[in-house]
């Protein structure tokens, strides 16, 4: 069996930028890829069963290799919300993913040297605990499936299938031709010029309500190797999205533009006249959430989809608006400049669209503000997405500079 050879690690470094593909399947390998998907879906319990899963609750134990087992509780809902809770010497610990962000309470006692990790290393460390299988219900989650070919592992041929469409990562699955189940998953993360990978080796599965879920997983990454053993699962129980948020999330909602979106919209239309011409509507504008919407009829191209320049402008304005809020207490207000930006289009936008800012970590914001106080200028990188019905249409990354007015 292939799973006996899990010590063999095959790393395939893939490009991680969006492709603009509209199809759920990559039709360069249409028939073969659909055949693989149907086999995988059947072996895992079926597409219908997976698409009915709204939440997942699991219990089990985890340990470092050669370490003691520690009981855990795992919760997941939506593609981007997951939480892992456990206790060490009566102290409660949580590792959570909330969209592209995440948090670990008291990380130093869990992962050695965590506080010295760079941003990518922290992303990898957090997600090592948070496994999810997106293969069967990929279309519901707005992802794109591609066939990468086959490789030979321990004398047996294995299918390679890649999933795209996540805001900040891609996934590569190694699928056994023996039982049509994935036995390796590699998650490739990319953030601000850095790449990282988490390897999940699924050593055993178990059936729960007709759905195949992991029983045992070996996880390896640059700084962390752990073993996850799942003993039980419960599907579709009630969960609250706020349970996945960092309780220490920054709150700057006393800023002058955060309480009245109509005033904020008038301010934007006055200070940035193109936003009026584009019909930009402020849906949320606080320093905990920024969401700006634009109508398709004022921002359409010759192909009846959203004009790329309008999408870029909406993203840039969302980032500018956030920075305008966090620097609102400075007198005089600094000059805000978008210095560099990139938009990755993943599928055509054919109706009204909204840019949602990914709010940066508190430490990152504090560092940005401290730099401005000390030097009179500072730089920060912001991310944003256009999503609807679980599908990602465009992803943005932009550098902003604030400079003290002379």
**With contact defined as beta carbons under 8 Å apart, do 190 and 16 qualify?**
yes
For residue 322, what is the enclosing H or E element? helix 308-326
Residue 254 lies in a domain: no
Residue 129 lies in a domain: yes
- The whole-angstrom separation of Cα 79 and Cα 99 is 8
Both 239 and 283 in one domain: the answer is no
Domain that holds residue 9: 2-244
Both 196 and 284 in one domain: the answer is no
List the structure tokens of 5: 């050879």
Tokens 């066939």, residue located: 147
**Sign of the alpha-carbon torsion through 174, 167, 58, 24:** negative
CA distance to 17, 171, 197, per residue, from 160 (Å) = 18, 10, 16
Q: What is the dihedral of CA 338, 342, 348, 353, to 10 degrees?
A: -30
Predicted pLDDT at 160: 96
Q: Which of 110, 100, 95, 29 is nearest to 63 (CA)?
A: 110
Q: Which of 214, 238, 246 is nearest to 57 (CA)?
A: 238
Q: Domain with 374 in it: what CATH number?
A: 3.10.129.10
Predicted pLDDT at 123: 86
Q: Domain with 60 in it: what CATH number?
A: 2.50.20
Q: End of a domain among 185, 217, 244? A: 244
Residue 251 lies in a domain: no
Q: End of a domain among 196, 212, 244? A: 244
Predicted pLDDT at 57: 97
Residue 219 lies in a domain: yes
Both 184 and 287 in one domain: the answer is no
Task: Give SS3 for 246.
Answer: coil
Q: End of a domain among 244, 276, 297? A: 244
Residue 253 lies in a domain: no
Residue 62 lies in a domain: yes
Residue 86 lies in a domain: yes
Tokens 């997976």, residue located: 50
Predicted pLDDT at 255: 47
Predicted pLDDT at 24: 60
Both 55 and 137 in one domain: the answer is yes
Residue 250 lies in a domain: no
Both 312 and 199 in one domain: the answer is no
Q: Could you read off the pLDDT tens digit of each residue along the chain, which spans 406 residues?
A: 433 333 333 333 333 333 333 356 554 557 889 999 999 999 999 999 998 999 999 999 999 998 899 999 999 987 678 999 998 888 889 999 876 667 888 776 778 778 788 878 888 988 999 999 999 998 888 889 999 999 999 888 999 999 988 777 899 999 999 999 999 999 999 876 788 999 999 999 999 999 999 999 999 998 889 999 999 999 999 998 888 887 765 544 444 444 467 878 888 888 889 999 999 999 988 878 899 999 999 998 888 899 999 999 999 999 999 999 888 878 788 999 988 899 999 889 999 999 999 988 888 888 898 888 888 899 999 999 998 877 889 999 999 999 987 6
Instruction: Tell me, yes or no, if the pTM score tops 0.75.
Output: no
Total tally of structural domains belonging to the chain: 2
List the structure tokens of 103: 């948090």
Both 223 and 287 in one domain: the answer is no
């Amino acid at each position: 069996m292939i799973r006996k050879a899990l010590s063999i690690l095959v790393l395939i470094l893939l490009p991680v930028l969006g492709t603009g593909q509209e199809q759920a399947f990559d039709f360069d390998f249409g028939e073969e890829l659909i055949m693989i998907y149907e086999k995988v879906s059947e072996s895992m319990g079926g597409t219908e069963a997976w698409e009915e899963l709204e939440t997942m609750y699991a219990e089990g134990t985890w340990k470092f290799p050669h370490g003691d087992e520690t009981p855990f509780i795992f919760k997941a809902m939506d593609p981007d919300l997951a939480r892992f809770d456990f206790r060490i010497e009566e102290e409660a610990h949580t590792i959570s993913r909330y969209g592209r962000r995440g948090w670990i309470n008291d990380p130093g006692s869990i992962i050695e040297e965590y506080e010295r990790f760079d941003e990518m290393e922290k992303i990898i460390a957090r997600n090592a605990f948070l496994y999810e299988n997106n293969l069967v219900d990929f279309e519901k989650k707005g992802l794109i499936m591609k066939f990468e070919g086959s490789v030979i592992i321990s004398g047996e041929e294995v299918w390679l299938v890649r999933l795209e469409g996540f805001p900040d990562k891609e996934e590569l699955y190694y699928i056994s031709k023996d039982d049509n189940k994935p036995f390796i998953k590699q998650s490739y993360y990319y953030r601000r010029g850095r790449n990282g990978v988490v390897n999940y080796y699924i050593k055993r599965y178990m059936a729960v309500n007709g759905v195949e879920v992991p029983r045992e997983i070996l996880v390896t990454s640059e700084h962390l190797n752990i073993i996850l053993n799942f003993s039980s699962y419960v599907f579709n129980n009630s969960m609250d999205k706020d349970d996945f948020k960092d309780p220490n999330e920054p709150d700057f909602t006393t800023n002058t533009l955060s309480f009245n979106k109509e005033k904020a919209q008038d301010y934007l239309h006055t200070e940035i006249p193109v936003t009026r011409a584009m019909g930009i509507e402020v849906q949320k504008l606080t320093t905990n959430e920024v969401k700006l919407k634009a109508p398709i009829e004022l921002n359409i191209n010759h192909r009846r989809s959203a004009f790329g320049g309008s999408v870029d402008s909406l993203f840039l304005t969302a980032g500018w608006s956030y920075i305008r809020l966090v620097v609102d207490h400075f007198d005089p207000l600094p000059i805000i400049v978008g210095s560099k930006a990139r938009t990755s289009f993943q599928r055509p936008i054919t109706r009204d669209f909204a840019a949602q800012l990914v709010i940066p970590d508190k430490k990152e914001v504090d560092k940005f503000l401290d730099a401005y106080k000390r030097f009179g200028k500072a730089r920060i990188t912001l991310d944003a997405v256009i999503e609807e019905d679980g599908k990602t249409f465009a992803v943005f990354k932009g550098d902003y500079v604030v400079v003290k007015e002379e």
